[in-house]
Amino acid sequence: MTIQLTVNGAALTVDLPGDVPLLWALRDGLGMTGTKFGCGVAACGACTVLVDGAAVRSCQMPIGEVTGQITTIEGLGQPGNLALIQQAWIKHQVAQCGYCQSGQIMQATALLAENPAPSDSDIDAAMQGNLCRCGTYPRIRAAIHEAAQMMKAG
Amino acid sequence: MANWKKITRRSFMVLGAAVAGGAAFGVYKVTEVPPNPLQAAAGAVPLNPWVIINADGVTVIAPRAEMGQGISTTLAALVAEELDVDWAQVRVLHGPPAQAYFNAGFVDRMSNVPDFINASAPKSHNAIMAAVPKIFSMQLTGGSTGAIGGFEQMRLAGATAREALKAAAAQRLGVSADQLKTEAGMVIGSQSFTYAELAEEAVALVPSDVPLRDPSSWRYLGKPMPRLDMEAKSTGTAQFGIDTWLPGMKFATVRMNPKRGGAMKGFDPAPAMDIAGVEKVIDLGTGIAVVASNTWSAIQAAALVEIDWGHADYPTDSEKMMVRIERAFLEEADSRLRDDGDVQTELAKGGLIEAEYRIPFLAHAAMEPLNAVAWLKADGTLEIWCGNQAPIMTRDACAAAVGLEADKVTLHTPVMGGGFGGRTDTVPAVLAAKVALELRGTPVKVTWSREEDMTQDYYRPAAIARLTGRLDGQKATALWGKTAVPSAARNALNRMLGFAPPGPDRGSVEGGFDQPYGIPNYRYDGHISDLSVPLGFWRSVGNSMNAFFLESFIDEMAHAAGADPLAFRLELMEATHAPSAAVLAKVRDMSGWDALKRPGFGRGVAFCYSFGTPTAQVLEVQETADGIRMTRAWIACDPGLALDPSIIEAQMTGAMVYGLSAAVQGAITFADQQVVETNFYDYEPLRMQNTPSFEVAILQNNGKFGHMGGVGEPGTPPAAPALANALFDLTGRRGRSLPLGQEFDFAA
C-alpha cells in the first residue's frame, strides 16, 4: 500500500501497510533513523516527533491516519546548521548514550514553542513522558532553560 | 582463535598452574606485541592500532565500546594530548575485533584483596597477572576499566605516532628529530609539514617506546572536554546498531522461550503469515524469528505464532525462588573473602544486632532494545553490526553459529543506546547470524521488542543477606555478613565460555567484604545458591547488592548506638583509609548534613568503595501531600586521577539515578516460570519529575599519582541504601526489602 507523508517539508512515499505506525515508516520504510524505538507502547517517548508542531508518539500513529506536517529530529537541525535547542544540548553536554535524546529534544521543542519561559514544574509536566536510563535529567533541565534564554535573546 | 572457548579454558588452567607455582608464564607471549589489525586506505594511514592519520586530522581507534559512559572521548583525549592535534581535528571510531585492543585495566578487577588496600600497592606487582588481559585477548568493555586500561596505552599510541611523524620530517629536512616540534597536526621546523604529508613515510619509523609527557604540561587531560559524540547525539545522526540500514534489507524480530532454557516442542506459523508484510517464520530451535517488510509487522506476527514451550529447570515463581536462595545459608560459606579478628568470639559476648535483607532480580532495560544486523553474503562471508561489550567473543560466537571460520566474519561495534552490563552476551548477534543463514544474500535487521528485551534479559540476581553485629558502647566491635545469592559471574561465564574459574566468587560479596570499615572483627561470607535463572553483569554487579545490605546495617548499628550515622561511619574509616573518610567528610560538608534534619524531611547517607573509587552519597527526602519525594542528592567521590570532570560528574549522577530507579520500583518477578514485567509501565524507572537535583564533588586523593578508579559504576551502589536510610530518618520505618516502593508511598 502506497502512502504519502510530508516529512520535514518533503513529500515522501512509503510502501507499507496502512496500520504500520509512523515510527516504523520513518525508520524501516524511509531509512530516517533519528527517531527511535524504545517501548512500542508510548511509555518512553523515544519516538517523539512533531505533527503540525505538536509532540506525538510516532509508535502509536498508524501511517494511514497521519494528516499534517511531520517534523523529525533530522528536520530540526543538522551538524553545521544546528537549531538553538540543539546548541543548548551541546553546550550542557546532555547526552550520555544519546538514544533517548531525539525524543527529548522534540518534546522540549514542542514545550518551548508553547511556553517560551518554562519553570521547573512546567518542564517536569512536559517532559515526564520521556525516559532516560542514563539519568541525564538534570542536564536536560539545564539545557531547556538555556534554550529558553537563547530564544529570548533571539 | 578458531575455538575461543577451548583456548581460553586451557589457558586459564595453565595460568592457574603458573600463578599457583609462582613460575614465570611463557615469556614470549607476555612480551609479544599484538599485530596491528588496521590496513591503510586512500587518505588514511594507520601508524599503530590506535592512530590513523587522515588528510584532515586524525582518527583515534578506541579499544573500548561507547555506551554512553564517554569513554571514546577520554581515550581520544589521551591520544591527542601526546599527538599535538587540535580537538576539532580528532575523530574516534571503535576498533575491529583484535588482540591489540585488549583491556589492560582488567588487572585491577582480578584481585580478591580489597581495593582500598590495593590502591596504595605498587602497580605492576604481579607481572603474570598484568599480562593476562593481553594473553587472553580480553577486548572487553566493563568493570569501569576503560580509562584505566587506556591511560598508558593511548598516550603511548599518540606519543609514538608523534615521534614517527617527527622522524619522517627530520629525514626530509636532514636534521635530527629533536630540533623539530609539533603543534596542531603539523611538524614544525625550518619547513613545516602536515601530519598527512608525512604519514606514509612515518609508518616505518614508529618507535616502540618513548617517554610520556609530564602531567603539568597536559592541555586536555583533567579538563572537561566537549564529547566527540555530542553533536551526532543531539541531531539524530549518531548511528546506533539499531540504525544500521542497508539497501534491500529485511526486518525481523525473535520470540524465544520465556521459560528460560526450556525447549520448543513445536509451533504453528500459520496465524503469523496472515499479517500483511510478513514473509517468513524461522525455527531457531528454542524460539522463532519472523521476517517482514518492517519491524512492526514482524513484532505483531511473532506474537501470533502458536508455540508449545518446554519448561525451565528453575522454580515456578519468585517466592519459591527466594526459598531456594535461602537454602544456600544451610551450606557452608564458599566465598569468605574477609575474616579479620575473631568474629565468633566477639559475637558470643551477646547483645547482638541482627537484620535480614531481601532484594529482587533486576533487568538492564537500556533504552535501545537488543538488536543486531546480519548479512551472509554470496561469497560466503558474514558481516554483523551489533553494539556489544566483547567483540572477539561475539565474532567467534557468530562464526561458530553459522559454521564459518572467524576470519570470514566481520563485526562492527556501533555506539550503544545504553549497556549497563546488558550487552556483554553474544546472544543478539548470534541469533541475527542464524536468521541471516536462512536469508542467504539478504541483509536482515533483527530487533527485540521491548517485551522480549525485558523478559529475555540476563538479570541481576535476587539475594538474601543476614547481618549480625555487636556494639561496645558507641563502637562497633564485630560484623558478620552473609549473602545468599546465585552467582552472576559463574552463571554468565558458564554460558559464554563453557566454564567458570574455581575459587571464591568475589562478585557475590563485593561491596560487603571489601569496605574500609575498621571493625576489629569483620567477616563477610558468600553462600552461592544453585538457582539457575539466567544472570548477567548489572551496573556495579555485586556491589549493587552488598552495599544495600552493609550500608543499611551500618545505619542500623549507628542508630542502635545512638550515634549520628555519618559520624559513626567516619569514625570507623578514619584510621583505615583516609581518602574514604575524606569523601564522607566532603559529602557531609557539601550537603550541610547537620542542617538537613528538620520536620517533614529525612536524610540518608551511604558509602561504597567499588571499582577503585570510594563514593559517598547523601539523599534528602520530603513528605508531601502527593507522597514521598526525593528532593536533593549530593555525591562525593575519589577516583584518584580524574581525567574528565564533566564526564565523571555525568557518570556519578547517572549511576545514582540508575540505582535509585531500581531502589524505588525495580523488580523482575516470575510467575509460571516466566518474567512478569514486560515494559516500562511495569518496570518503571525514574523520570524527570521524580529525580532529585544533584551536586557532585570529585576529590583526587586516592592512591599514588596515576592511580585511577572507575567512574561508570561506583555511583550506583550507595543509591539504594542512601534512600532506605533517608526513609528511616523520615518515617522511623526500616525498609529491608527492595524495591522500597512496596512499603513506602512515593510521589509519582
**Which 244-283 residues of chain B touch chain A by CB within 8 A?**
245, 251, 276-277
Cβ-proximal residues to B72 (8 Å cutoff; 6+ apart), any chain:
B62, B64, B66, B92, B94, B228, B229, B415
Q: Quick one: B521 and B470 in the same domain? A: yes
Average pLDDT (B261-273) is: 97
Kindly report which listed range (A6-20, B83-97, B135-149, B365-379) carries the lowest average pLDDT score.
B135-149
Asked if pLDDT for residue B25 goes beyond 80, the answer is no
pLDDT score at B123: 57
Would an 8 Å CB–CB cutoff place B299 in contact with chain A? Answer: yes
Cα(B1)–Cα(B3) distance, integer angstroms: 5
User: What are B190-214's pLDDT values in tens digits?
Assistant: 999 999 999 999 999 999 889 999 9
**Domain-located, residue B321:** no
Asked if pLDDT for residue B16 goes beyond 80, the answer is no
Would an 8 Å CB–CB cutoff place B711 in contact with chain A? Answer: no
Residues of chain A neighbouring B241 (CB-CB closer than 8 A): none
Query: Last residue of some domain: B447, B473, B493?
Result: B447
Asked if pLDDT for residue B703 goes beyond 90, the answer is no
How near does any CA of chain A get to the CA of B486, in Å?
26
pLDDT score at B497: 85
Residues of chain B neighbouring A105 (CB-CB closer than 8 A): 234
Would you tell me how many other CB atoms lie within 10 Å of the CB of residue B561? 18
> CB–CB of B369/B342 below 8 Å?
no
Asked if pLDDT for residue B24 goes beyond 90, the answer is no
Average pLDDT (B630-636) is: 98
Query: Last residue of some domain: B228, B259, B274?
Result: B228
Query: Last residue of some domain: B228, B254, B284?
Result: B228
In terms of residue numbers, what domain contains B438? 241-311+370-447
**Domain-located, residue B678:** yes
pLDDT score at A37: 98
Asked if pLDDT for residue B39 goes beyond 50, the answer is yes
Would you tell me how many other CB atoms lie within 10 Å of the CB of residue A49? 30
- Which residue, A10, A35, A11, A9, is CA-closest to A22? A35
- The radius of gyration computed from the CA coordinates of chain A, to the nearest angstrom, equals 15
Q: Quick one: B539 and B656 in the same domain? A: yes
Q: Which of A20, A74, A125 sits opposite B236 (nearest CB)?
A: A74
Reported ipTM? 0.98
β-strand partners of A48:
A57
Question: Does residue B380 come out as left (phi exceeding 0), alpha (psi in the -120 to 50 range) or beta?
Answer: left
The CATH number of whichever domain residue B496 belongs to comes to 3.30.365.10
Backbone phi and psi for residue B617, each to the nearest 5 degrees, phi listed first: -135, 145
Q: Are strands B250-256 and B444-447 parallel, antiparallel or unpaired?
A: parallel
- Which residue, B645, B636, B644, is CA-closest to B613? B636
Sheet holding B335-340, edge to edge: B335-340, B521-529, B475-486, B463-472, B352-359
Would an 8 Å CB–CB cutoff place B662 in contact with chain A? Answer: no
Q: Quick one: B79 and B144 in the same domain? A: yes
**Contact across the interface for A27 and B295, Cβ inside 8 Å:** yes
> CB–CB of B656/B633 below 8 Å?
yes
Q: Quick one: B394 and B497 in the same domain? A: no
Cα(B316)–Cα(B734) distance, integer angstroms: 30
Average pLDDT (B305-330) is: 98
Asked if pLDDT for residue B43 goes beyond 90, the answer is no
pLDDT score at B82: 98
Q: Quick one: B376 and B356 in the same domain? A: no
What confidence tier does B32 reach under pLDDT thresholds 50, 70, 90? low
pLDDT score at A1: 79
pLDDT score at B130: 73
3-class SS string, B40-77: CECCEEEEECCEEEECCEEEEEECCCCCCCCHHHHHHH
pLDDT score at B127: 63
Q: Quick one: B339 and B384 in the same domain? A: no
Residues of chain A neighbouring B276 (CB-CB closer than 8 A): 17, 19
Grid cell digits, residue B304? 501470533
User: What are B69-78's pLDDT values in tens digits?
Assistant: 999 999 999 9
- Where are the extended beta strands (E) located within B501-573? 521-529
Report whether CATH 1.10.150.120 matches the domain A84-153: yes
pLDDT score at B11: 38
Would an 8 Å CB–CB cutoff place B681 in contact with chain A? Answer: yes
What total of structural domains would you count in chain B?
A: 3
What confidence tier does B630 reach under pLDDT thresholds 50, 70, 90? very high
User: What are B108-120's pLDDT values in tens digits?
Assistant: 787 888 989 887 7
Q: Quick one: B597 and B682 in the same domain? A: yes
Asked if pLDDT for residue B470 goes beyond 90, the answer is yes
Would an 8 Å CB–CB cutoff place A26 in contact with chain B? Answer: no
Where are chain A's structural domains? 2-76, 84-153
H/E segment holding residue B744? none
Asked if pLDDT for residue B591 goes beyond 70, the answer is yes
**Domain-located, residue B25:** no
What confidence tier does B31 reach under pLDDT thresholds 50, 70, 90? low
User: What are B395-409's pLDDT values in tens digits?
Assistant: 999 999 999 999 999
Q: Quick one: B75 and B195 in the same domain? A: yes
Average pLDDT (B76-105) is: 94
Q: Measuring CA to CA, how many Å separate A104 from each of A84, B137, B405, B422, B684? A: 14, 39, 43, 23, 18
**Domain-located, residue B13:** no
Q: What is the widest separation between alpha-carbon atoms in chain A?
A: 47
Tell me the pLDDT of chain A averaged across its residues.
97
Q: Quick one: B83 and B174 in the same domain? A: yes
Share of chain B above pLDDT 70, in %: 95
Residues of chain B neighbouring A124 (CB-CB closer than 8 A): 688-689
Class of domain A2-76: alpha beta
**Domain-located, residue B14:** no
**Contact across the interface for B239 and A96, Cβ inside 8 Å:** no
Is omega for the bond preceding A79 within 30 degrees of 0, making it cis? no
**Which 43-82 residues of chain A touch chain B by CB within 8 A?**
43-44, 46, 72-74, 76-79, 82
Q: Quick one: B393 and B483 in the same domain? A: no
Q: Quick one: B470 and B511 in the same domain? A: yes
**DSSP secondary structure, B448-487, as one string:** --HHHHHHT--BBPPEEEEEEEEEETTEEEEEEEEEEEE-
Q: Give the burial string for B664-696 (b: 16+ CB within 10 Å, else e).
A: bbbbbbbeebbbbbbbbeebbbbbbbbbbebbb
Residues of chain A neighbouring B299 (CB-CB closer than 8 A): 40
The size of the A-B interface in CB pairs under 8 A is: 200
**CA-nearest residue of chain B to A62?**
B296
**Contact across the interface for A37 and B297, Cβ inside 8 Å:** no
Q: Quick one: B143 and B72 in the same domain? A: yes
Q: Which of B233, B296, B447 sits opposite A95 (nearest CB)?
A: B233
Would an 8 Å CB–CB cutoff place A97 in contact with chain B? Answer: yes
**DSSP alpha helix (H) spans, B372-426:** 391-402
Cα(B450)–Cα(B681) distance, integer angstroms: 11
